Structure 1
Amino acid sequence: MPPRTTSERSAPARDAGPGRLTELRIRGLGAIDDVTLDLGPGLTVVTGETGAGKTMVVTGLTLLFGGRADPGRVRASGKAGVEGRLLLPAGSPVWERAADAGADPDDDGSLILARTVSAEGRSRAFLGGRAVPVGVVAELADSLLAVHGQTDQLRLSRPAEQRRALDRYAGADHLALLDRYRGAHQRWRDLVADLERRRSSARELAQAADVLRHGLEEIEAVGPEPGEDEALGTQAKRLADADALRAAADEARLALIGDVTGDLGGGEAPQDATAALAIAERALAGSDDPALVMLAQDLADAVAVVSDVAGQLASYVADLDADPARLAEVLDRRAAITALVRKFADPGAGVAGVLAWAADAAQRLSELDVSDEALEKLVAERDAARAEVDELGAQLSAGRRAAAEGFAAEVGAELAGLAMKSARVSFSVDSHPDEPGPEGIDDVALLLAAHPGAPARPVHKGASGGELSRVMLAIEVVFAGADPVPVMVFDEVDAGVGGQAAGEIGRRLARLAREHQVVVVTHLAQVAAFADTHLVVDKSPDTGAGVTATDIRAVEDEDRVRELARMLSGLADSETGQAHARELLAVAAEARG
């Protein structure tokens, strides 16, 4: 990461928990030229004048984690880039996936992510110093980041995500049941597909089975053994060259242990290696010199080795068979095996390839069996698998219905404090036991009646943008202790809210920040007062180029009071505004404990 361009801010030391971003650098994006943000743990708020570029922080985060690259956001420099430093616990599954992609941790143990976008729309992603497909980063984002804004409510609007939310709320035992159901459903679908395939293609499968069966019978008739082709080749060569091999072995044996024609004292040299070595050993053994005694022992060992080799040569000669009938038999066997290898194995694979084909063919033959007995057995397996699916699906559905009431009640209680006291939240769980799907037998929908008398409608249709953001906030608060996503981003979830409800939004965001890193773009001082880290986006004309530029700075103490006063009254130096700002900070500090 580059040197920091925002002011340093000390924060209380905290454990990384499920993980958090410590730094974010944005270059050439929208009005931002080059800034680096220090993101502390807990709640970070981003404030600033309308049009200053606050949303670019959210855009940068989304881009970093695999979001769609919009070349229209790239500045005139022609290239935009975002870099982030992610601090993760040692046991995080993100590390395993990152390692699979070739990523390495930085010197401090953090994981560096980067993304670049050109004005032409070309995009590249980097993870731990390695270039990776953008899809890899997007895959990691599912377990790292959740972005919620008025135009980014995809998670909440998808029925599948609503079902996942309800399942997660139902608890660990329910999720274990869901895993069992998924396995049973996959087994049932595989059996259904296999049965349909065998019935619809019985003639073709029977013909294919005949081909495999004939090949297996041909191999079985020869009965090749592993490595037999090599052994036969060696044996055939030995039989064909038996006379030459016997002569060579006899010559070598006689050279090692042949007769001695005289003794050394008579002036005649030994005629074999064993006798020569023995004489040399005796000559040295009587010496008093330790070095010669050791050499004498080495010679004694050599005599033993030579004698052993000579014995093996004698056995070799005795076993050597020059029988022409046996040679013909070996050659016939080699020819039969060679024919199998040519027909059933890849070049160079030998008998091993033939045996591999036979094993594969036997497996395929069992899958091609279209006899009445095989089909009856398959029908019984299919029906048993479907019965298991029905049983687990009914249990899963019952668990969802039991969880739906409590989930809706808790979300409704949170909404009551978010200026939606009259809103009613409920879950619709419609079961279709005759149409089991991979996730169960239920269609799950989160419904919202925004005010009395309003019909309950799917939440993404029954709520305005601001209401939808607050519903998502309420859901995230309910899930605060269980949601595995470590970083949550909320883009102006306080739109259209003021007064006491604004303070309640701040309280809930602060509560979320106890378990997660929360980044919030806000225009409300009541929300900003709860922040652990307060970032301000400033936009000023660039006198050199005639364009605007954005800077982002962290504010503390009196600078923070002035920013809150500006948000409250439009005047940073207003004494009344500053007094109100200090009061908000005191209330927020007391509420956070």
Structure 2
Amino acid sequence: MLRSLVIRDMLIIDRLDLDFRPGLNVLTGETGAGKSILLDCLGFVMGWRGRAELVRPGAPQGEVTAVFDLPEGHAARAVLAEAGLETGDELILRRVNAADGRKTAWVNDRRTSGEVLRALSDTLVELHGQHDDRGLLNPRGHRQLLDAFAGVDLAPARRAWRARAAARKALAEAETQLAEMQTEEDFLRHAVDELDRLDPKAGEDAALDQRRRMMQAGQRIREDIARAAQALGTEGAEGLMSDAARWLDGAAEKAEGRLDEPIAALGRAITELGEAAQGVGTCLEALSFDPREMEAVEERLFAIRGLARKHAVLADDLGSLADELRSRLAALDGGAENIRALAEAADAASTNYDMVAAAIGAERRTAAKALDAAVSAELVPLKMDRAHFVTDLSEGEEGPEGRDQVAFTVATNPGAPPGPLNRIASGGELSRFLLALKVVLARGGEAVTMIFDEIDRGVGGATADAVGRRLARLAQSAQILVVTHSPQVAARGAHHWRVEKRIGAELTTSIVTPLAPDARVDELARMLSGENVTDAAREAARALLAG
């Protein structure tokens, strides 16, 4: 809800503070008093495109501030969050227009852009009038309005649209991948065959390298180790020590114990010598190899390393590379079958989308007939019973909300073909069409402020009274601002302001005054009788106010 509008130095407004209220707010005044300026100023702070020169002559800058109440869940909160702006129960929009044309905007005291202001305005205000291209006259919003009227559930269509898009994307990606793999089929088959024949294992490179180095070292040291083994053996130290032990054992009995310790030491030495000879023999056995084995080890080691260089991977990664290439080759071999399955899935998703879109289309066509009947019923008291309102449905571009294109059309004369609202209806007729539409489409508890700019243009009497009654009905569940010249409409307002132009010696200004009950009677009387207000006009005004 728009709570207040503060204007400084804009056009012929010097200083103006307006506090609006829920319900039907009416603004009246003579032609040229400045009613349209108020809407220009509101449009300026909302970021709408309007007059180029807005600053009051002689002032360095003009400024407009609008304060809105934001209930929980209001759509403006999402816009603020997306723009990185703080949200609360109050929204303050302020915009300054310098004399040189520069414009600066703030939202809750944070600098922002005109784009953010316009996004907020779409959630805060609806302007209805013959020059309105943002609301009911904009065909781009007609489908959304019809869906809201019918309560169409668009979730199934959105799911079907996403599923179809995903299925088509998967098919396209698979076809592209298959085409790319087909260009490297020869490489894949040769590489997999080469890797399968070699069959490298993780860690094999290091093991082969260690075995190769051992064999190379064995060639150099085996001869010395063999000589050492011979020197330690029975023909060398072991034989001599054994002979010595035998000789000493034979002489020990006659040596009266003097040989016991040497014989024991010799026994220990013989044991140690045996262990040394055994170790040397084990080493000599390990260093024994067939020259053909070394050739085979080197050949496999070089093959593994050559293949790793060829594929620019580590030797230990050749196994995982082989798995990857086999997988790609399997995908290539099974590509046609996979493409066929994905194509079937895409066809099924398209069929499902077609069914959902057709069901929503049928629901919309049924709702369109109900909407046409409801609008036609509203047109009768507005003295447009000969007019024909038609919700036109045609096939449009496919999307997540179906493929229906919706346009509200009218025929003001019997037998004439219907056409777009803003091309067929005259100014007064258009205003009444818009009001009838809004009454039918309005939802209870709307969070937007609706502004009707002289929507009663060209009507009077009973028709103007019907307009006023419908505006009052709308205002029971929403805030309505009406700029009007009709006393029948003004009398239905819950709150009434008079706009006046005051001409001074050097300055012409526009002022807005809230009207007390007596002043309101005088204003309605002026609207009924003109400049000279009579007692009869005041009585007629009181009668209008009494309902």
Aligned to 1:86: 68
Shift of 1:104: 4.1
Counterparts of 2:184 and 2:464 in 1: how far apart (Å)? 72
Q: Deviations over 1:410-447 (max 9, x none)?
A: 11111112231211112222347xx6334312222222
Aligned to 1:561: 521
Kindly tell me: are residues 210 and 519 of structure 1, through their superposed partners in 2, closer, same or farther at Cα, counting changes over 3 Å?
Answer: farther
Secondary structure at 2:132's aligned position in 1?
A: coil
Secondary structure at 2:2's aligned position in 1?
A: strand
Kindly tell me: are residues 104 and 571 of structure 1, through their superposed partners in 2, closer, same or farther at Cα, counting changes over 3 Å?
Answer: same
Aligned to 2:158: 182
Aligned to 1:451: 413
Q: Deviations over 1:239-269 (max 9, x none)?
A: xxxxxxxxxxxxxxxxxxxxxxxxxxxxxxx
Aligned to 2:293: none
What amino acid does structure 2 have at the position aligned with 1:22?
Answer: R
Q: Which runs of 5+ in 1 are unaligned?
A: 1-19, 225-335, 345-363, 588-593
* Aligned match for 1:474, one of 436, 449, 474: 436
2:178 touches 2:335 (CA, 8 Å); kept in 1?
Answer: no
* Aligned match for 2:126, one of 146, 162, 166: 146
**Equivalences for 1:541-560 in 2 at 5 Å?**
541-543=503-505, 546-560=506-520
Shift of 1:169: 0.6
Secondary structure at 1:35's aligned position in 2?
A: strand
Q: Does 1:537 align with 2:499?
A: yes
What amino acid does structure 1 have at the position aligned with 2:546?
Answer: A
Kindly tell me: are residues 206 and 523 of structure 1, through their superposed partners in 2, closer, same or farther at Cα, counting changes over 3 Å?
Answer: farther
Aligned to 2:147: 167
Q: Deviations over 1:304-324 (max 9, x none)?
A: xxxxxxxxxxxxxxxxxxxxx
Counterparts of 2:79 and 2:141 in 1: how far apart (Å)? 23
* Aligned match for 2:482, one of 503, 520, 529: 520
Kindly tell me: are residues 448 and 101 of structure 1, through their superposed partners in 2, closer, same or farther at Cα, counting changes over 3 Å?
Answer: same
Counterparts of 2:202 and 2:535 in 1: how far apart (Å)? 100
What amino acid does structure 1 have at the position aligned with 2:142?
Answer: Q
Secondary structure at 1:511's aligned position in 2?
A: helix
Aligned to 2:225: none
Aligned to 1:128: 108
Counterparts of 2:63 and 2:331 in 1: how far apart (Å)? 53
Counterparts of 2:490 and 2:337 in 1: how far apart (Å)? 73
**Equivalences for 1:185-264 in 2 at 5 Å?**
185-193=161-169, 195-196=171-172, 199=175, 203-204=179-180
2:127 touches 2:134 (CA, 8 Å); kept in 1?
Answer: no
* Aligned match for 2:13, one of 7, 12, 32: 32
Counterparts of 1:38 and 1:376 in 2: how far apart (Å)? 67
**Equivalences for 1:362-373 in 2 at 5 Å?**
371-373=335-337
Shift of 1:405: 1.1
Counterparts of 2:533 and 2:121 in 1: how far apart (Å)? 42
Counterparts of 1:453 and 1:110 in 2: how far apart (Å)? 52
| TM, length-normalised to structure 1 | 0.64
Aligned to 1:356: none
Shift of 1:203: 4.5
Aligned to 1:437: 399
Counterparts of 1:387 and 1:497 in 2: how far apart (Å)? 52
**Equivalences for 1:383-402 in 2 at 5 Å?**
383-402=347-366
Shift of 1:522: 0.5
Where has structure 1 moved over 6 Å in runs of 4 or more?
A: 205-212, 221-224, 364-370
Counterparts of 2:7 and 2:30 in 1: how far apart (Å)? 19
Secondary structure at 1:155's aligned position in 2?
A: coil
What amino acid does structure 1 have at the position aligned with 2:115?
Answer: G
What amino acid does structure 2 have at the position aligned with 1:182?
Answer: R
Aligned to 1:304: none
Counterparts of 1:429 and 1:451 in 2: how far apart (Å)? 21
Q: Which moved more, 1:570-579 or 1:412-421?
A: 570-579
What amino acid does structure 2 have at the position aligned with 1:505?
Answer: V
| TM, length-normalised to structure 2 | 0.69
Pairwise CA RMSD: 3.7
Aligned to 1:585: 545
Secondary structure at 1:564's aligned position in 2?
A: helix
1:427 touches 1:445 (CA, 8 Å); kept in 2?
Answer: yes
Secondary structure at 2:123's aligned position in 1?
A: coil
Secondary structure at 1:72's aligned position in 2?
A: coil
What amino acid does structure 2 have at the position aligned with 1:185?
Answer: W
Kindly tell me: are residues 384 and 531 of structure 1, through their superposed partners in 2, closer, same or farther at Cα, counting changes over 3 Å?
Answer: same
Q: Does 1:43 align with 2:24?
A: yes
Kindly tell me: are residues 187 and 530 of structure 1, through their superposed partners in 2, closer, same or farther at Cα, counting changes over 3 Å?
Answer: same
Q: Deviations over 1:546-579 (max 9, x none)?
A: 3421111111111111111111111364222212
What amino acid does structure 1 have at the position aligned with 2:106?
Answer: F
What amino acid does structure 2 have at the position aligned with 1:442?
Answer: D
Aligned to 1:16: none
Counterparts of 1:120 and 1:209 in 2: how far apart (Å)? 69
1:149 touches 1:490 (CA, 8 Å); kept in 2?
Answer: yes
Counterparts of 1:134 and 1:165 in 2: how far apart (Å)? 26
Identity across the alignment (%): 39
Counterparts of 1:424 and 1:384 in 2: how far apart (Å)? 42
Shift of 1:69: 5.1
What amino acid does structure 1 have at the position aligned with 2:145?
Answer: A
Secondary structure at 1:441's aligned position in 2?
A: strand
Kindly tell me: are residues 398 and 423 of structure 1, through their superposed partners in 2, closer, same or farther at Cα, counting changes over 3 Å?
Answer: same
Shift of 1:159: 2.7
Kindly tell me: are residues 78 and 376 of structure 1, through their superposed partners in 2, closer, same or farther at Cα, counting changes over 3 Å?
Answer: farther
2:43 touches 2:50 (CA, 8 Å); kept in 1?
Answer: no
Secondary structure at 2:157's aligned position in 1?
A: helix
Counterparts of 1:498 and 1:205 in 2: how far apart (Å)? 77
Secondary structure at 1:81's aligned position in 2?
A: strand
Counterparts of 1:134 and 1:211 in 2: how far apart (Å)? 58
What amino acid does structure 2 have at the position aligned with 1:81?
Answer: E
Secondary structure at 2:457's aligned position in 1?
A: coil
Whichever of the two has the greater Rg, that structure is 2
Kindly tell me: are residues 395 and 498 of structure 1, through their superposed partners in 2, closer, same or farther at Cα, counting changes over 3 Å?
Answer: same
